[in-house]
């Protein structure tokens, strides 16, 4: 029953176009009634058991206008005989070659000498440019890496820089020739040319300071009279027998060096009749000059120390042997007595040592159990200066508990009389509840949520201490998210030992935490 279909099939094949229908021109093919998989290369036929489809109809599974018999991939509409090749590693035109003459192939140029410039006579068209090829066509000799647009011209008769000229410009091996118009064998340094060969009237010897006078050149004899016969930049040097003794003034400050003299016909630049300069290599150093501290220059020639600006007999510690810690104040030096002024008067690294008393600094508030924020990172405590005088923490201060927590303060903190200072575990405001501390003690100190101690010590003296315990009478002042606050009317080292003088903070300084860091406590 199928034999009569053969002539009809032949007629259909004869009607196919010479070139496959383009993707944009072909009519959509309805393959909804066709089943089977032609990925193995077989011409699958429709299953005629279900609907009476013509099982001998040509198969075009991808709808590209080319049947499976001639299509090299009937599952990909972009692949058929006559399709345009593109750089994708596939055989679009079904000629068994991959990416040949691809529409998006790149054109590069051979760079045989590896100088980064391509040979315009050697284009290369490929999807993946060959190793060593380049995009430019600027090389004029691809057999010599020294010849390219960046090449350097030399005196060799070649065009190294590919600009069409030979040995032009100031080539590195060109010679500088100087004009010698007076014929004295010395050329004019202000009249020169750079060339591969000497022009007529030019020579390689320079140094002539007057090319109109053959008696003036570097080999001429100097004589008094106001001229520079030997072209050394000096006038009347030499000197003649009537020359005068002067002192060399090398730095030009008007004062000469007593140890270096010179004979000259007249006083000229570089000479002086004065011989009192103490440093003839420094123009700012001479008798009567202003002496600046710390520049290691004895500007006024007095011979005193340049590192003792306050005149207290001690050099500032920027010098090798200095030990003065404040060279602007003669009362501050290693031999001075310490006074209560929030300063290190005797330069021992401590401020007001021996003058600090118990209770000068008082622990007035602490956040030992923050809420929501990471507990340890958001902890802080506050110190109040109850001494009546400014107090500077500049060395010798310790923070610790009765256990293993201990921290030595490493930077200065100035707490004015009647003011607070905030000590934070972490100074990152995103982690501590938006606070900016005066000092960050880090992980050395951890405030226990229920019971702990905090000692403030200076130079062996306990200035204040606080011991709290939720199991005793401290419970009323302790709750998560609330700071523990000392009664502001009783700011004192003795009063902060009594749990009845403590309560919970009320001011909301962060969305989940209450307290008054760096402010008078508000709990009472």
Query: What mean pLDDT is predicted for residues 477-496?
Result: 93
Which CATH number fits the domain that encloses residue 497?
A: 2.60.40.1260
pLDDT tens digit string along 150-192? 988 888 888 888 998 887 776 777 889 999 999 899 999 999 9
Query: Strands, E, within 113-212: which ranges?
Result: 123-126, 175-179, 188-195, 202-203
Task: Please choose, from the candidates 57, 77, 59, the residue with its C-alpha nearest in 3D space to the C-alpha of residue 68.
Answer: 59
Domains: count for the chain: 2
**CA distance linking residue 50 with residue 524, whole number of Å:** 93
Query: What mean pLDDT is predicted for residues 419-424?
Result: 98
**Coil, strand or helix at 8:** helix
pTM given for the model: 0.49
**CA distance linking residue 421 with residue 439, whole number of Å:** 8
Domain boundary among 45, 80, 104: 104
Q: Decide if 249 is inside a domain.
A: no
| Maximum mean pLDDT: which of 62-66, 243-247, 460-464 | 460-464
Domain boundary among 88, 104, 120: 104
- Structural domain including 99 reads 1-33+53-104
pLDDT band at 62 (very low <50, low <70, confident <90, very high): confident
pLDDT band at 34 (very low <50, low <70, confident <90, very high): very low
Q: Decide if 316 is inside a domain.
A: no
Strands 391-393 and 508-510: unpaired
Residue 462, pLDDT > 90, answer yes
* DSSP bridge partners of 366: 381, 484
Please calculate the CA angle 126-129-132 and round it to the nearest 5 degrees: 140
Q: Decide if 327 is inside a domain.
A: no
The pLDDT assigned to 439 comes to 98
Domain boundary among 87, 104, 121: 104
Q: Decide if 463 is inside a domain.
A: yes
């Amino acid at each position: 029953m199928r034999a009569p279909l053969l002539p009809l099939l032949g007629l259909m094949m004869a009607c196919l176009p010479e070139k496959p229908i383009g993707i944009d021109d072909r009519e959509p093919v309805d393959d909804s009634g066709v089943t089977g998989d032609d990925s193995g290369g077989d011409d699958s036929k429709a299953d005629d058991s279900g609907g009476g489809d013509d099982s001998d109809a040509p198969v075009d599974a991808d709808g590209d206008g080319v049947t499976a018999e001639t299509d090299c991939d009937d599952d990909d509409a972009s692949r058929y005989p006559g399709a345009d090749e593109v750089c994708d590693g596939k055989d679009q035109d079904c000629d068994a070659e991959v990416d040949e003459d691809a529409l998006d192939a790149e054109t590069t140029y051979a760079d045989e000498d590896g100088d980064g410039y391509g040979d315009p006579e050697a284009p290369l068209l490929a999807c993946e440019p060959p190793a060593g090829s380049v995009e430019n066509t600027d090389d004029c000799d691809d057999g010599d890496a020294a010849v390219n647009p960046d090449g350097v011209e030399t005196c060799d008769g070649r065009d190294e820089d590919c600009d069409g000229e030979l040995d032009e410009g100031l080539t590195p091996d060109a010679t500088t020739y100087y004009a010698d118009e007076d014929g004295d064998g010395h050329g004019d340094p202000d009249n020169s040319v750079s060339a591969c060969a000497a022009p007529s009237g030019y020579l390689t010897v320079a140094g002539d300071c007057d090319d109109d006078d053959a008696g003036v050149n570097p080999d001429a004899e100097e004589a008094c009279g106001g001229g520079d016969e030997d072209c050394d930049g000096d006038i009347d040097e030499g000197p003649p027998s009537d020359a005068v003794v002067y002192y060399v003034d090398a730095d030009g400050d008007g004062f000469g060096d007593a140890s270096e003299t010179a004979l000259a016909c007249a006083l000229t630049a570089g000479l002086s009749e004065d011989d009192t300069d103490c440093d003839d290599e420094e123009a700012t150093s001479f008798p009567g000059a202003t002496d600046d501290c710390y520049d290691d220059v004895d500007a006024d020639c007095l011979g005193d120390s340049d590192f003792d600006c306050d005149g207290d007999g001690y050099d500032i510690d920027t010098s090798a042997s200095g030990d003065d810690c404040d060279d602007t104040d003669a009362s501050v030096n290693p031999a001075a007595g310490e006074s209560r002024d929030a300063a290190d008067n005797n330069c021992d690294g401590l401020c007001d040592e021996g003058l600090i008393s118990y209770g000068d600094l008082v622990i007035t508030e602490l956040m030992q159990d923050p809420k929501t924020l990471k507990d340890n990172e958001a902890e802080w405590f506050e110190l109040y200066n109850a001494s009546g005088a400014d107090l500077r923490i500049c060395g010798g201060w310790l923070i610790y508990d009765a256990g293993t927590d201990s921290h030595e303060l490493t930077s200065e903190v100035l707490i004015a009389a009647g003011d607070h200072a905030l000590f934070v575990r972490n100074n990152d405001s995103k982690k501590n509840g938006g606070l900016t501390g005066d000092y960050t003690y880090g992980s050395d100190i951890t405030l226990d949520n229920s019971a702990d101690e905090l000692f403030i010590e200076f130079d062996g003296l306990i200035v204040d201490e606080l011991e709290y315990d939720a199991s005793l009478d401290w419970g009323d002042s302790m709750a998560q998210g609330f700071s523990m606050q000392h009664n502001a009317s009783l700011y004192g080292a003795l009063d902060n030992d009594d749990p009845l003088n403590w309560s919970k903070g009320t001011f909301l300084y962060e969305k989940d935490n209450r307290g008054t860091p760096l402010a008078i406590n508000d709990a009472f």
